[in-house]
Every structure is written in structure tokens, then in C-alpha cells.
Structure 1
Amino acid sequence: MSLKKITIQRERIPNTDEYPFSIPSIRSFQEMEIINNVTFFVGENGSGKSTLLEAIAEKCGFNTAGGGRNNYYNLHASESELGYYITLSWLPKITNGFFLRAESFYHFATHLEEIDDDTGFTNYGGRSLHHQSHGESFLALFLNRFKGRGIYLLDEPEAALSPQRQLAFLRILHDLASKDESQFIIATHSPILLGYPNATIYNFDEGEISEVQYEMTNHYQIMKGFLNRRDQYLKELFLEEDD
């Protein structure tokens, strides 16, 4: 591994009552040890997981709108406020990598379309990402752009992936993390992706960031409960609506 620790420089923050420093998990955050090649961030929307992931991307020098160090394009509200106040500890430092934002991937694909020369799609399978389905374009990115030793920051990659393609992504993840020693930090809601063996999972709920075991995540428990007792879940859900 290369990225070892994430630390917040809390004494430099001018006002902790303003967003994003007011998010409970960010307000209480001090430092995070990265102990595996695959790390997951989980939590409800607004819990701060994507905010911290974006800050890491900012500190890595990646385009926070999505992309790597050499993708220059602008997207409204893509700048990371938190990124100015965190420190990344490396051993050794690596510069290769990519930041995937599922919500702005369309804009990244458009950026590639606008590159003047013919090299825009060389690292993406040679085909326009706009000429593929959403899921196909994500897999094209994973298969062709993610190579060698690097750090890859992914914000909800499951957004475009069917369950079958999530399994395909797990194989890509395994090959890169185990053979090429690539490092991944992934914010996700997917219990399939969270099932990757021996990964570290950090939970951003409950007002703090804490490590949690796979079977103890809400994502796993809710999905397992629904699949095992679907009729009961739906009955209780619809009764609540009727009330």
C-alpha cells in the first residue's frame, strides 16, 4: 500500500459550524488509518463519506469533477472545501490514479469527446464512452484506465452496474488490488461490493467514523432481512404507509 493515513488539520479550519465541517462525522474526525488495499466508506446520504472521498481526490491532485491528474475541465461545485484541510501520509508517494464520481461521469465522457486529438479514448478501450451503455462505459473505464500501481477513488460505482456487473467489477478489483498492488477507496451503498474479502469498512453514521464488520453494516442487514422475509418487510412497510 502507499496511502497510509488521512489526517485533518483541525486547527486551521476557520469555522467548524459551516458546511462541510458541520457534518457530524467530519466534525468529529481526527485521522484514519488505511490498512488494506481496499477500503470502503458506508453511510446514509449526507453522512460525509463522499465529502471525505472528494477531499482525498483534491489532495491527490485529481480533478474533483472526476478524472485523473491530466483531465482539465470544470464542473460547477466540484471544488473540495475539505481538501484544503487534510493531510495524506504516503509510503511511497504515488501519482497514478483516478477519481470516479458516478453523478458527473457524463461530463467526464463529454470532456473526452472534446479532446482535439485522437488520443482521448486510448485509455478507455478505443470507443467513445457516450456510444456505450452506462454500465458498459463504467466497465470500459475499469478495464482500460485502471492499470498498474495507483490509487483509485470511486464514489458509488454501483450506480451504473447491474448485480451481474458488480460481480464482474469485483473480479477487476481483485486483480488490480492483489496483482498490481493498486489501492482503492470506495464510497458505496452496495452490499455486493461491500462483500469483497478482507476489506476495511468505515461507517460514517452515528456522528463519527468507525470501522465496522461487513455483517454489521445496515446495507447487509437490510438486504439480508428483505431477501429472507420479503413478504413481512413489505407488509410492515405498506401498513406504515396506510397509517
Structure 2
Amino acid sequence: MLHQITKLHDKIENADRYPFHIPAIRHLDVLKLNKNVTFFVGENGSGKSTLLEAIAYQCGFHTAGGSRNNQYELAASEARLGDYIRLSWMPKVNHGFFLRAESFFQFANHIDELAKEDPIKAYEPYGGKSLHEQSHGESFLALFQNRFGRRGIYLLDEPEAALSPARQLAFISLIHELQRHAQLIIATHSPILLGYPHADIFHFGDDAIRPMQYEDTEHYQITRRFLENRAMYLRELLDE
């Protein structure tokens, strides 16, 4: 299990350049992980995906999405934080997967290329057929259900992007099964996924990365207030 992430301050020559100037990353020292499921939350640009990508880089996963065994060409992020963090394990695991919703299409293309040589071997971990032959939501669930079966660490960047509310609920059940033998770190905006009860939530804010209770997240508070006062919100937003 990955139980600690340490930023290597001494290696950073210019703390004013990207991504070290991001407030949450600037104030990061040591982040301790105590649960098998951890959520990263915060606004776009707050650094949650940057840190998740750096963890993937240190794990040896393809930073555009995939595992240690997936090597394909894609103009992806350079994982600029990756060389400036240290991961502490107990025990060390080598198996896992990094899911990036934004580059999943290219990853599916990569699997199709592998299938030209051995379709059975290539498609078996994804439900037996091309990810492009399934809907976006179906392909995500096929990946989770068929590829995430072994002990390891699974890094998911906004998995809700392809999941309807009903499938997000199904994914919560899948998370619960996976965490029995695996570790998941998930960057998300979904108030549904954040509702999983056996998880730590870390908020990436303007001053630090801080633990937060589910009911204190903006995702929960804004969604709840909107659903309870939809007419009022729409009048203000639409100036009617």
C-alpha cells in the first residue's frame, strides 16, 4: 500500500514555475494515506490531477493512461512533478493502472493496435471486445470490472466523465469490492462517488491539501442546495 507521498523540496530549483507555483503543490510537504480509497477534490487547476499524474509516473505507468505494460505514442503531459516526489510503500506493489478520462480514446486505439496481432489476448482484459465497440460508459465499466481484478494501486482521474448517475452508483459498489485487495486514489468532481463511506477526502485549496468530511465539500453542499432550491437558483442564474 502507498502510505506516504513526500515532496522533495531540495530538488526544486525554481518554485515559481509550473507546477510548483500551484498553491496546493507549493504547500505540499508530506501527504499520508491511511485508507484503501482516497479522493482528491478541488477546482480545475488546483493540482489534484497534477499530483495523481506524478504518482502514476513514479509507479511506472504510462502518464497518458495505462499500466507498466502499455507503451504508445501520445503527446501527453510531461508529469513535471513526477521527479520531485517520493512514494513510501508498505509493502511495495508493482501492479496497477492509471486512468485518464481525457485520453481514454487514445488508449482504446492503442488496445486496438495490439489486437491486430492477438485479438483474444488484447481484448480479454476489457470484456472481450474493442473498447470502441462499447459506449463510453460501458467501456469504462468494462475496464474496471475486467482489468482491475488484481492486487495493486489504481489511479483514476475523473472516472465519472463517462458514467451516468446510475453507473456512478454501480461504480461505488465496484469500488467497495476492489478496495478489499487494492488501493484506489481518485480525483473527482462527483458528489455521488465522494459519498463512498470508507474513504479519505483531501481538498486541494488555496493554502494546502487538507482532509475534509464529505458534508463539508462544495460538491455536496452546492448539489444539495441546488436540488432543494432549484427554482431560486435558476431565477438568480437566468436573471428571471
Please indicate the TM-score interval, normalised by the length of the shorter structure. Answer: over 0.9
The amino acid of 2:89's aligned partner reads W
Give yes or no for contact 1:65–1:79 (8 Å, CA) kept in 2. no
Alignment match, 2:84: 85
Alignment match, 2:165: 163
CA distance in 2, matches of 1:215, 1:71: 38
Alignment match, 2:2: 3
CA distance in 2, matches of 1:188, 1:51: 13
Alignment match, 1:187: 187
CA distance in 2, matches of 1:161, 1:48: 23
How many pairs were matched up? Answer: 237
Secondary structure of 2:179's aligned partner: helix
State yes or no: 1:29 paired with 2:40: no
Alignment match, 1:212: 212
The amino acid of 1:40's aligned partner reads F
Alignment match, 1:224: 224
CA distance in 2, matches of 1:190, 1:34: 21
Alignment match, 2:118: 117
State yes or no: 1:173 paired with 2:175: yes
Alignment match, 2:51: 52
Shift of 1:132: 0.5
CA distance in 2, matches of 1:223, 1:206: 22
Give yes or no for contact 2:40–2:202 (8 Å, CA) kept in 1. yes
The TM-score, its normalising length taken from structure 2, stands at: 0.97
Alignment match, 1:66: 65
CA distance in 2, matches of 1:74, 1:82: 21
Secondary structure of 1:121's aligned partner: helix
Give yes or no for contact 2:97–2:155 (8 Å, CA) kept in 1. yes
CA deviation vs aligned residue, 1:206-232 (integer Å, no higher than 9, x gap): 331000000000000000000001011
CA distance in 2, matches of 1:121, 1:14: 44
Secondary structure of 2:38's aligned partner: strand
The amino acid of 1:30's aligned partner reads D
Secondary structure of 2:149's aligned partner: coil
Give yes or no for contact 2:153–2:184 (8 Å, CA) kept in 1. yes
Shift of 1:198: 2.5
Shift of 1:79: 2.3
CA distance in 2, matches of 1:82, 1:138: 27
Secondary structure of 1:114's aligned partner: helix
Alignment match, 1:102: 101
CA distance in 1, matches of 2:67, 2:164: 25
Secondary structure of 2:61's aligned partner: coil
CA deviation vs aligned residue, 1:142-175 (integer Å, no higher than 9, x gap): 0000012110000000000000000111111101
The TM-score, its normalising length taken from structure 1, stands at: 0.96
Give yes or no for contact 2:202–2:210 (8 Å, CA) kept in 1. yes
Give yes or no for contact 1:25–1:48 (8 Å, CA) kept in 2. yes
CA distance in 1, matches of 2:3, 2:27: 20
Secondary structure of 2:78's aligned partner: coil
RMSD (Å), alpha carbons: 1.0
CA deviation vs aligned residue, 1:50-102 (integer Å, no higher than 9, x gap): 00000000000100010000000122133201000100000100011000000
Unaligned runs of 5+ in 1: none
Give yes or no for contact 2:67–2:97 (8 Å, CA) kept in 1. yes
State yes or no: 1:141 paired with 2:140: no
CA distance in 2, matches of 1:206, 1:11: 23
> What fraction of aligned residue pairs are identical, expressed as a percent?
62
Structure 1 runs of 4+ with >6 Å offset: none
Give yes or no for contact 1:65–1:74 (8 Å, CA) kept in 2. no
Give yes or no for contact 2:63–2:76 (8 Å, CA) kept in 1. no
CA distance in 2, matches of 1:190, 1:100: 16
